[in-house]
Amino acid sequence: MKTVIYHNNRCGKSRCALQVLEESGKPFELIEYLKTPLTATEIRDLLKKLGKKPLEIIRTKEAVFRENYQGKNLTDEGWITALVEHPILIERPIIVRGDKAWIARDEAGLEKI
C-alpha cells in the first residue's frame, strides 16, 4: 500500500517525517501542498481519512489565520474554503496510507510511518 506525505519543506516536523519515510525504503508519494494546492474535494477526502473536522487541522497561530479568521464562526465548508485559499493553514505533515491518515507531528505519529 502506497504512502502519501503532504509536505511543507519549511517545516522541521514535516522534514523529519519525510526523512523517516525516505529511510524506510518503502515507496511513497510526496505532495508539496503549498506548490500544488489541494482542491476542496481533496481536503474533504483527507478530513474523512483523518476523522477530523476542518477546524481541527487549521494552524491557528499562522498570521493568515489571525488576520482573516480569528474569532469567526465558519461552517465546515467555510473552513474548507479557507484551507483551499490559504494552504499554509493546513497542519502538517499529513501521512496517508490507504483509507487512513494522521498528522505526524510527534513521535507516535512518526512511529506509524
Residue 100 C-alpha cell reads as 487512513
Q: What is the pTM of this model?
A: 0.92
Question: Among the options 11, 34, 50, 55, which is catalytic?
Answer: 11
Domain limits, the chain = 3-111
Dihedral over alpha carbons 58, 61, 63, 65 (to 10 degrees): 40
Residue 16 annotated among the catalytic residues of the structure = no
Candidates 3.40.50.720, 3.40.50.1100, 2.30.110.10, 3.40.30.10; CATH matching 3-111: 3.40.30.10
**Calpha distance 85→71 (Å, rounded):** 18
- Asked whether the beta carbons of 38 and 87 are under 8 A apart, the reply is yes
Mean pLDDT per 10-residue interval, the chain, length 113 residues = 94 95 94 97 98 98 97 98 98 96 87 78
**Residue whose C-alpha is closest to residue 24's, from 97, 90, 92:** 97
